[in-house]
Copies of this chain bind each other. A is one copy, B any other.
Amino acid sequence: MEIKIQLAEKDIPRKWYNLAADLPNPVQPPLGPDGKPISPDMLTAVFPMNLIEQEVSTKRWIDIPQEVLDILYRWRPSPLRRAVYLEKHLKTPAKIFYKDESLSPPGSHKPNTAVPQAWYNKQFGTTRLTTETGAGQWGSALAFACRLIGIECKVFMVRISFDQKPFRKIMMKTWGANCVASPSNETSSGRAILAKTPDTPGSLGIAISEAVEQAVTDPGGRTKYCLGSVLNHVLLHQSIIGLEAKKQLESVGIKNPDVVIGCAGGGSNFAGIAFPFTAEKIHGAKIDIIPVEPKACPSMTRGEFLYDHGDTAKMTPLMAMYTLGHAYVPAPIHAGGLRYHGMAPLVCQAIVEGLQKPLAIDQIECYEAAMTWAATEGFICAPETSHAIAAVIREAKKATEEGKEKNILFCYSGHGLMDMLGYDAYLEGKLERYEMPDEDIKRSLAELNGLPKPKAVKTGKW
């Protein structure tokens, strides 16, 4: 078996996969301020109608436009690789496969959705996109997509990442975007937060509020907002990861892996690798599917399945999801892309249904895993991706103990070349271990008391 399992360009998937079509129970609808399900046209101030249609669609397969594919070909299909050097180091009988999403121009999986989002917006007549970014992976991906497609791009970058990752800003500028630290003075929600807490490290929730505000307050309506994760249509676009991986595994005789792993902040790279296999699980395959989150921001493992806002300023509809509460500001871990209080509703629904089983790992174990990765596979991974690798190492060790020749698949969501400061902190012994006290979670969830509750779901046996 070759270490790199390639897929020819002509074999690239031509349709995205939508898990909403296969979930045993329907996803609970987003709710408006009145507690009633929102209708698609209530989202038009923020998103173009063609993407709203994808957001609410329950069609199983949705065509990928040829012009989108023409852009994705710059780095797709991405290779599926065998981590043979890590396997040897761990002396595991498991085979470890990773889908390498680090090869895109911005270095992560994010352009898989940035490109179609920019393209559908352009089709719709949008001339300017606003967005938030954590580690800068999403912001640079959208800057990249907007540059190639030809629309303006404005990025609100969480302040701690803005300060820790200076090169990301220049990258966005190189692709022509305008990037500012969030909270900023450019929006009323930003100004309000700065007035109360001028030293805040910021959060994805705050940055979302700022970006949404700029879209909804544009009198011409030609500014729209773009989200890098969480929403159904974003997860839809990422399904290309798992669909390609499935074809690649099949090409070496593996129908389904035994374990599928991805790190999860908003849930999009995880959903991308996991949903096509979640469908297999629904239809009878035996697969352990594991989203991995940081202990500093444990929405899936210590949060509750509730209706909550996607952002801090409560501008978004209520979504049924595992959440720590929209007011929660996570500790400043280096994996900025995993600092989000909630989780994609589709991922949460799959967890509620018992199809996926989340895991939380602290950043020190993750950096240890990243160092092992660099010393064996040779590559330097993103701090977010290190969470997936830490879980893979746990699973590979379990396979050794059990003496089982498992096939483990994970999403290598991005490289860490723009995120070297976390490695420096680790090497200098300055990395902090963050664990959120129970009282903090209780306090932040208490703010959701008056909100509607999701309906109970009868879970299946998988």
A290 at the interface (CB under 8 A from B): no
Interface string of A1-35 (1 = CB under 8 A from B): 01110101110000000000000000000000000
> Are A423 and B174 in contact, CB atoms less than 8 angstroms apart?
yes
CB A289 to nearest CB in B, in angstroms, measures 28
Chain B residues closer than 8 Å to A434, beta-carbon distance: none
- Residue positions of A touching B, CB distance < 8 A: 2-4, 6, 8-10, 71, 73-74, 85, 103, 105, 107, 144, 147-148, 166-167, 170-171, 173-176, 371, 374-375, 377-380, 417-418, 420-421, 423-424, 427
Chain B residues closer than 8 Å to A147, beta-carbon distance: 374-375, 378
A2-B8, A174-B423 are known; give 6 further A-B pairs, CB within 8 A: A105-B374, A105-B379, A147-B378, A148-B375, A170-B421, A174-B420
Chain B residues closer than 8 Å to A170, beta-carbon distance: 420-421, 423-424, 427
Chain B residues closer than 8 Å to A427, beta-carbon distance: 170, 173-174
Closest chain B residue to A377, Cβ basis: B74
Chain B residues closer than 8 Å to A107, beta-carbon distance: 417
> Are A171 and B380 in contact, CB atoms less than 8 angstroms apart?
yes
Instruction: Pull 11 A–B residue pairs with CB atoms less than 8 Å apart, ordered by A.
Output: A2-B9, A6-B6, A103-B103, A105-B380, A147-B378, A167-B417, A167-B420, A170-B421, A170-B423, A171-B420, A417-B417
Chain B residues closer than 8 Å to A103, beta-carbon distance: 103
A-B pairs, 7 with minimum CB distance = A170-B420, A167-B420, A105-B378, A2-B9, A170-B424, A105-B379, A174-B423
SS class of chain A's interface: helix, strand, loop or mixed?
A: helix
In the assembly, what is the distance between CA of A10 and CA of B421, in Å?
Answer: 38
> Are B3 and A378 in contact, CB atoms less than 8 angstroms apart?
no
Closest chain B residue to A374, Cβ basis: B174
In the assembly, what is the distance between CA of A167 and CA of B107, in Å?
Answer: 16
> Are A417 and B418 in contact, CB atoms less than 8 angstroms apart?
yes
CB A115 to nearest CB in B, in angstroms, measures 10
In the assembly, what is the distance between CA of A417 and CA of B415, in Å?
Answer: 11
CB A358 to nearest CB in B, in angstroms, measures 29
In the assembly, what is the distance between CA of A71 and CA of B85, in Å?
Answer: 9
Chain B residues closer than 8 Å to A417, beta-carbon distance: 107, 167, 171, 417-418
A2-B6 CB under 8 A given contacts A105-B379, A380-B171: no
A73-B174 CB under 8 A given contacts A378-B148, A417-B167: no
> Are A173 and B2 in contact, CB atoms less than 8 angstroms apart?
no
Chain B residues closer than 8 Å to A85, beta-carbon distance: 74
Chain B residues closer than 8 Å to A380, beta-carbon distance: 105, 171, 174
Chain B residues closer than 8 Å to A175, beta-carbon distance: 374-375
In the assembly, what is the distance between CA of A171 and CA of B379, in Å?
Answer: 10
Chain B residues closer than 8 Å to A174, beta-carbon distance: 371, 374, 380, 420, 423, 427
